[in-house]
Amino acid sequence: MKFTMKLLGMGLVLLALMFTSCAKDGEDGMDGAMGPAGTNGIDGVDGTDGEDGADGADGANGADGADGNANVIASEWAVADFPDTWSFSQASVTISDPNITEEVLNTYTLLGYFSLSDSYTEIFAIPFTESFLRSFTMQQKMAVGAYTITELGNLDTVDTIDPIDGFVRYILIAPAPLSGKGGNSYSINGMQENGVDLSNYYEVMDYLGMDY
């Protein structure tokens, strides 16, 4: 009897184990809330810069702009040193200038200026007559490749001329085109229309935008 009860108890335990192993798994529960984000890690050390690349090829040069007064030819101030071997009535100084071509000679207008000193405080427009110091008249002319000034004695007051040295500068100005309006504002006509006194050296140079 005791053996039978023991055997019956073992059978019940075995049956319970079998029932438990055959039972279905339960459903998953809800996920828990996300935890707080962790702190950022320390930045890594920057890497070394790479070597500069080779320079690119230079671009093509742009076209030259048009000259503001390309129709004007101007000399620098030159010493007018008249020779001692002058005649009784005149003395001349000639300046070589390759800019005076046949075309310039035939079409450009000549403006010449003379100063008795390099202070240029008083500048005369050529031709002019000086009647206070030596009483002479100065004239100018051009030839291909040359510009000449000549002092002429005033025979009404003196028999001979002792020429006065000085400084000379000349400006050659292209003619206005036949079309008139919209043409060369630096022409003699254009300058006169704008009220420029051609005998006033400083007015002329200011209008042309040139250095004294």
How many residues are there in the chain?
212
pLDDT top residue among 78 and 136: 78
Please determine, for residue 58, whether its predicted confidence score (pLDDT) is greater than 80: no
Residue 73 pLDDT: 93
Residue 28 to residues 14, 23, 141, 151: CA-CA distances in angstroms?
A: 28, 16, 119, 125
**Residue 202, both tokens:** 């400083």
Please determine, for residue 40, whether its predicted confidence score (pLDDT) is greater than 90: no
At residue 39 the predicted structure's pLDDT band, cuts being 50, 70 and 90, is: confident
Which of 33-37, 70-74, 109-113: highest mean pLDDT? Answer: 109-113
**Residue 119, both tokens:** 């202070």
Instruction: Please state, in angstroms and rounded to a whole number, the distance separating the CA atoms of residues 29 and 22.
Output: 21
Cα torsion through 171, 176, 181, 185, rounded to 10: -10
Enumerate the β-bridge partners of residue 152: 90, 137
- b/e map 120-129, b = 16+ CB within 10 Å: eeebbbbeee
Per-residue pLDDT tens digits for 137-158: 899 999 999 999 998 876 665 5
- Segments of 45-184 assigned E as strands: 72-74, 78-80, 90-96, 109-115, 123-126, 128-130, 136-143, 146-153, 166-173
Phi, psi of 74 (to 5 degrees): -130, 135
Please determine, for residue 57, whether its predicted confidence score (pLDDT) is greater than 90: no
Please determine, for residue 65, whether its predicted confidence score (pLDDT) is greater than 60: no
Please determine, for residue 81, whether its predicted confidence score (pLDDT) is greater than 60: yes
Per-residue pLDDT tens digits for 95-128: 999 999 999 999 999 999 999 889 998 999 999 9
- The pTM is what? 0.62
Domain boundaries, given as residue ranges, for the chain: 72-176
Residue 197 pLDDT: 95
Cα 27 to chain center, whole Å? 86
Q: Which of 173, 169, 168 is nearest to 208 (CA)?
A: 173
Question: Which residue is listed with tokens 């005149």?
Answer: 90
CA 94-192-175 angle, to 5 degrees, is: 55
Instruction: Please state, in angstroms and rounded to a whole number, the distance separating the CA atoms of residues 111 and 125.
Output: 8
Q: Are 15 and 22 in contact (CB under 8 A)?
A: no
